[in-house]
Amino acid sequence: MNIPKIKLNNGNTIPALGMGLWQIKDPEIFNAAVNAALENGYRHFDSAQVYDNEQLLGQAWKTSGLKRDELFLTTKIWLKNFGYNHVKKSFDKSLQNMQTDYVDLLLLHFPVTALRRKAWKALEEIQAEGKAKNIGVSNYTVRHLEEMKKYAKITPQVNQVEMHVFLQQPELVEYCRQNDIVLEAYSPLAHGKVMDDSTILKIAKKHNKTYAQIMLRWAIEQGFVVIPKSVSPARVKENLNIFDFAFDEQDKADIKQLDRNLRTCWSPVHVP
């Protein structure tokens, strides 16, 4: 199927749904999941230096028979590589691992206090060289994004953060909309921490969808890019099946009430 695309602030586009690859390191499991994704029409894959699977992604897309420009590949600079020179050196290694001469999206993985300014400068240069089509950040709060205005020549195209119905972050959402930064939702299923909420169950029944599909649909309707992770080929397929229905006003109002600031991953909130 054709996954809708979202326009970025530089005129490029990003598929609204991708596949997150965090924690998938076993080659057999990785290949089964990614092959299922490719067969079902996924073209957007989200890796990172610290996931230790860039090389698996490189092998997978190379053997897929797809052309490089048919895919949207993301990686992220890990914290220990944040120095200006380390960013560049480590990123060249990432390109080698992924068997490509560019990525579609390169992110800084976390707002490392002392080094994020220099690391962003390196990303701007990498983009100017054509080695990254789009650049952005991950786990940045409004405060970190506001600080970037003092030193960034380029506004990030994307901010990838934990985002789901139980962590709706309205202030960050509004800030990114005002500043033309696309939000990308990781852990959109909240790591399965709350899979029995009666409101979501009711909406799922009403639309004849699964609990997970309701959570993913919420992110899509907010205008976010969403990157669920699954190693089950059946789930990989299920996660794609969210574009044939829409919430009504009551659904939206009910889901809005579910926000409880539930963080299931590391939090950047107290990072200066």
Taking the CA atoms of 80, 132, 218 and 205 in sequence, report the sign of the dihedral they define: negative
Query: Cβ(271)–Cβ(145) under 8 Å?
Result: no
Residues 6+ apart with CB under 8 A from 190: 164, 165, 166, 167, 215, 262, 264
What are the structure tokens assigned to 52, written together?
A: 């230790």
**Cα end-to-end span (Å), the chain:** 43
Count of beta carbons in the 10 Å neighbourhood of residue 41 = 13
Give the orientation angle of helix 54-64 with respect to helix 84-97, to 10 degrees.
40
| CA proximity to 187, closest of 20, 67, 3 | 20
Residue type, 69: D
Task: Tell me which residues are annotated as active site.
Answer: 51
| CA–CA distance, 57 with 104 (Å, rounded to integer) | 14
Beta strands per DSSP E along 177-249: 182-186, 225-226
